[in-house]
Amino acid sequence: MEDVGDPICALCGRPIPPEARQSRHHLVPKLKGGAKGPTVLLHQICHNEIHATLTEAELARDYHDIAALRAHPRLARFIRWVAKRAPAFHSRSPGPRRRRR
């Protein structure tokens, strides 16, 4: 039997080792009709950053695929930053940073 290795985070592209915090992200938020839609496996820190950066409405309207998420300026900076960390690295997100209107 071939060892396939650790799953890969859909956002940052780093492996997700068994000891790493991880979660599934609904590409279309559940509250916006995505409850039965596609999900992707992410590091928990990557998932937290997505939700600290974008509202549910923004996710549903403009950021419902990985390419769009990676292209968002704040998430692109986060991905460059987290790429330098160990695959099991986790820290608390400093809270919502999205602009409230």
Report the predicted TM-score, pTM, of the whole model to 2 decimal places: 0.86
Contacts of 77 (CB under 8 A, 6+ apart): none
pLDDT single digits (tens) 16-54: 999 999 999 999 999 999 899 999 999 999 999 999 999
Amino acid letter, 65: D
Helix axis angle for 73-82 and 44-53, nearest 10°, is: 160
Structure tokens that stand for 45 in this block: 């820190």
Q: Given a cut of 90, is residue 14 above it in pLDDT?
A: yes
pLDDT single digits (tens) 63-94: 999 999 999 999 999 999 999 999 999 887 65
E-only strand ranges, 15-71: 22-26, 39-43
